[in-house]
Amino acid sequence: MMMGPFATETNQPATLQFDSFASVAISREIGRVLSHNFSLAASHMVLFQQLKAQHAVDAALSRLLPNLTRWLNSMRQRTRRSLKNFALKHCEETRRSLDAFLDNELDPLKALEIERHLQVCAVCAQTYETQRAAGKLAKALPRYQAPAVLRERILLALRASEESGPLPSISS
Amino acid sequence: MSYSNKLSRFEQLILPHLDAAYNLARWLTNHDQDAQDVVQEASLRAFRAFDTFYGENGRAWLLTIVRNTAYNLLQKNKPSRLATPFDEELHGSSGPVESATPMTLLRGAEEERNLRAAVEELPVEFREALILRHQDGLSYREIALIAGVPTGTVMSRLARARARLKEFLARGIREEEAS
Ligand SMILES: [Zn+2]
């Protein structure tokens, strides 16, 4: 004789037995399926939420990125421009003071400034070298010596003026 | 002050600067005999005015008198030359100039002659500033006092005179590259 849910020779207690047994099994199965589905649904929900969040971030970023890039570029440009202006201002000042620098006519602080600029600016350093070469050239010009007779003539004229009284005024 | 006393003081304080005086006069007049005449006349003038000299700087004092005497002579002899303003167009503007060391360019006597000629062509005020600065080592202020102009004028004259020397250097380089 077969026992269990599908027994053919059933009586009340067997039906009862079957009923209670089946209902427990079914409800257990339902619970299992439900809970599985629930957890699946829940995990899907989480995933879905995560994806949505990711999308939102992506969208926000893709909206923001061009702006960010533009901003970064403009900042970079502005920095470059102000650096250039700064350098140009220094170059201008240096060029203007280069002669006085070469002639030792600057106060020590200003001279130090020029010296520092010349160490970092190749363009001004080049100008400086050219200026310096011109100065050296001027120094290399011949230096004329007074002929010996000139000194004698002058002394003679001065002594002669002693004998002949005050010098006649020389017309100019 | 007795005459002989004055003379010996003059010999002691002023005459040692005769070379500087002659050199300046020579560069201002571009002529040996003119320069000698200028120095002799300037010395006699200096002697006459010696009572007003208080012994601060004999060389600058004598150079001032030499300078004025030379200008008088130039005005008398070559009024056109002194009056001709420096023609920027004619002499070329100060464009970009290659650099060079004087040593590489002043190798021969010919180069030295060329350089001297280039300086002699400069207006007399520029020559004056150049010589007083680079040969006598005077400051802008001292040159300004001698030339009777503001220091700013001295600076611009020096700058322009040196611009001419830079052109001379550049020309030397171009010739060197061409050969
Ligand atoms: Zn610079």
Mutate to test the interface with B, among A130, A137, A151 (most CBs of B within 10 A): A137
Rounded Cα distance between A158 and B9, Å, is 13
Q: What is the CA B103 to chain-centroid distance, rounded?
A: 22
Rounded Cα distance between B66 and A92, Å, is 38
Binary contact (B106, A137; C-beta < 8 A): yes
Rounded to 5 degrees, φ, ψ at A121 are -115, 110
Tally of domains in chain A:
1
AA letter at A135: G
- Give residue-wise pLDDT tens across range B138-177: 999 999 999 999 999 999 999 999 999 988 888 877 777 7
Is B98 in CB contact (< 8 Å) with chain A? Answer: yes
Q: Considering the entire predicted model, what is its pTM?
A: 0.68
Binary contact (A162, B7; C-beta < 8 A): yes
Kindly state whether residue B84 falls inside one of the protein's structural domains. Answer: no
pLDDT at B29: 95
Report whether A139 contacts B135 (CB < 8 A).
yes
Instruction: Using alpha carbons, select from B89, B32, B21, B161 the residue that is nearest to residue A103.
Output: B161
Report whether A113 contacts B145 (CB < 8 A).
no
Q: Mean pLDDT over all residues of chain B?
A: 84
Kindly state whether residue A135 falls inside one of the protein's structural domains. Answer: yes
pLDDT at A13: 54
Kindly state whether residue B176 falls inside one of the protein's structural domains. Answer: yes
Shortest CB distance from A144 goes to which of B26, B41, B43?
B26
Torsion angle of alpha carbons A24, A30, A35, A40, nearest 10°?
Answer: 160
- The range of the structural domain enclosing residue B173 comes to 101-179
- The range of the structural domain enclosing residue A54 comes to 22-140
With a CB-CB cutoff of 8 Å, which residues 60-89 of chain B face chain A? 69, 72
Rounded Cα distance between A43 and A47, Å, is 6
Shortest CB distance from A133 goes to which of B27, B115, B169?
B169
Kindly state whether residue B88 falls inside one of the protein's structural domains. Answer: no
> Which residues sit with Cβ closer than 5 angstroms to ligand 1, an ion?
A 91, 121, 124
Co-location of B36 and B74 in the same domain: yes
Which residues, other chains included, contact B26 with Cβ-Cβ below 8 Å and sequence gap of 6+?
A: A144, B32, B35
- Predicted confidence band of residue B98 (pLDDT cuts 50, 70, 90): very low
- Predicted confidence band of residue B89 (pLDDT cuts 50, 70, 90): very low
Kindly state whether residue A8 falls inside one of the protein's structural domains. Answer: no
Which uninterrupted H or E stretch holds B79? helix B79-83
- Give residue-wise pLDDT tens across range A132-171: 999 999 998 999 999 999 999 999 998 887 666 555 544 4
Co-location of B133 and B173 in the same domain: yes
- Give residue-wise pLDDT tens across range B134-146: 999 999 999 999 9
Binary contact (A141, B135; C-beta < 8 A): yes
Kindly state whether residue B87 falls inside one of the protein's structural domains. Answer: no
Instruction: Using alpha carbons, select from B74, B80, B94 the residue that is nearest to residue B29.
Output: B74
Q: Which two tokens stand for residue B121?
A: 């062509």
pLDDT at A81: 86
Residues of A in contact with B45 (CB under 8 A): 170
pLDDT at B178: 74
List the single residue in A with minimal CA-CA distance to B23: A144
Q: What is the CA B87 to chain-centroid distance, rounded?
A: 19
Query: Would the ipTM clear 0.95, i.e. be above it?
Result: no
Nearest CA distance, A113 vs chain B (angstrom):
20
- Give residue-wise pLDDT tens across range A34-77: 788 777 778 888 888 888 888 888 888 888 888 888 999 999 99
